Amino acid sequence: MSAKRRHRGFTLIELLMVVVIFGIGASLAAPSFGTLLGNYRVRAGSESILNGLYLARAEAIRRNSPVSFTLGAAGSGWTIAQVAPATTIQTRADGESPGVATASSTASRTLTFLANGMVDTTPATRLEQVTVSSAVANTETRRINIFGGGLIRMCDPAVATANDPRRC
């Protein structure tokens, strides 16, 4: 057997240095990862509400009957129901977009689409605007505007450029 043996592998000090470097990198990336996750949740929650509104409008036209859209008490949940006869068409639970909060522009969280796809404007208070935000600091906010003619538009209140289509 030879006097010189070749050792392979890593020493304990080398492994500890790699773990320390990964730990420092992870601690630097954690705050931006939290913001990124919060932004994804806001986008998912606002797109869910937007799709629910589109579905309620389409169902009102398809059924040739008024259909209501009711925003959940918290989060991004909603319920779509035919007005008469009272039939629930589709629901989405509030907890499906965790950490997302919604606020409506009025005390009412309900609006009704008429058979022609337009919004019923007879109630004095109806859902006209929904703001979707997150509890995570430095995250985006989305606003959904519902107009009387049945137009539904999502925008970003932080965009101030005049020609930007994301502007409110």
Consecutive 10-residue averages of pLDDT for the chain (168 residues): 68 89 82 83 91 95 95 86 93 82 85 94 87 86 90 91 88
- For residue 112, the model assigns a pLDDT of 94
61-71 per-position pLDDT tens digit:
999 999 999 99
* List of domains in the chain: 12-155 (3.55.40.10)
For 82, other C-beta atoms within 10 Å of its C-beta total 17
Per-residue pLDDT, 60: 95
pLDDT (0 to 100) of residue 4: 67
H or E stretch including 21?
helix 12-63
Q: Are 74 and 102 in contact (CB under 8 A)?
A: yes
- Determine if the pTM surpasses 0.95: no
pLDDT of the residue at 119:
94
pLDDT value, residue 37: 87
Instruction: Please answer whether residues 79 and 91 qualify as being in contact, where contact means their C-beta atoms are separated by less than 8 angstroms.
Output: yes
d(CA 111, CA 163): 30
